């Protein structure tokens, strides 16, 4: 179980570093908007797997539902509704623009995590 936590922690750190690099240095029309959105759901899933390495097989579904809820919040501009529109931190954290394509990216990220998670578990069961 400890090895599993370490593996997910390493995946989390690697994806977080990738997301930071994308945010700081990539300003294009594909990687930043799409690959970043795919990776963010994988990042969140890996984070939770550090603390809950087994069980919760529906974790990617829960993360997807959370991501969709955040996107719906963007549709209604939740940052403005709660009076934080002047906060750059919350504007970045929660987002201010809705995109239906983002929901597709979140779904792809959750499917990707499911495949990674399943591969890791199959490998662990063979060991």
Instruction: Quote the tokens at residue 30.
Output: 């594909």
pLDDT band at 81 (very low <50, low <70, confident <90, very high): very high
Taking a C-beta distance cutoff of 8 angstroms, is the pair 75, 98 a contact? yes
Tens of pLDDT, residues 23-77: 899 999 999 999 999 999 999 999 999 999 888 899 999 999 999 999 999 999 9
pLDDT band at 22 (very low <50, low <70, confident <90, very high): very high
In whole angstroms, give the CA distance from residue 95 to residue 106: 14
In whole angstroms, give the CA distance from residue 127 to residue 121: 10
What's the pLDDT at 12? Answer: 98
What's the pLDDT at 92? Answer: 83
DSSP string computed for 42-82: HHHHHHHHHH--SS-TTHHHHHHHHHHHHHHHHHTTHHHHT
Q: Is the pLDDT of residue 127 over 80?
A: no
Tens of pLDDT, residues 90-110: 888 888 899 999 999 999 999
Instruction: Read off the pTM.
Output: 0.90
Q: Is the pLDDT of residue 21 over 90?
A: yes
Q: Which residue shows structure tokens 């719906």?
A: 72
Average pLDDT of the segment spanning 100-121: 96
In whole angstroms, give the CA distance from residue 77 to residue 95: 8
What's the pLDDT at 114? Answer: 96
What's the pLDDT at 124? Answer: 83
In whole angstroms, give the CA distance from residue 84 to residue 101: 25
What's the pLDDT at 54? Answer: 83
| Sign of the dihedral defined by the CA atoms of residues 64, 104, 111, 24, in that order | negative
In whole angstroms, give the CA distance from residue 37 to residue 94: 13
């Amino acid at each position: 179980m400890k090895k599993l936590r370490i593996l997910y922690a390493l995946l989390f750190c690697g994806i977080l570093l990738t997301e930071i690099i994308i945010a700081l240095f990539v300003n294009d029309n594909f990687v930043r908007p799409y690959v970043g959105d795919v990776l963010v759901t994988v990042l969140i899933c890996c984070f939770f797997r550090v603390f809950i390495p087994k069980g919760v097989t529906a974790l990617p579904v829960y993360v997807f539902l959370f991501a969709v809820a955040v996107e719906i919040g963007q549709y209604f501009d939740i940052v403005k509704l709660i009076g934080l529109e002047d906060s750059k931190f919350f504007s970045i954290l929660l987002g201010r623009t809705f995109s239906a394509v983002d929901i597709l990216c979140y779904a792809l990220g959750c499917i990707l995590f499911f495949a990674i998670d399943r591969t890791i578990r199959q490998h662990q069961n063979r060991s």
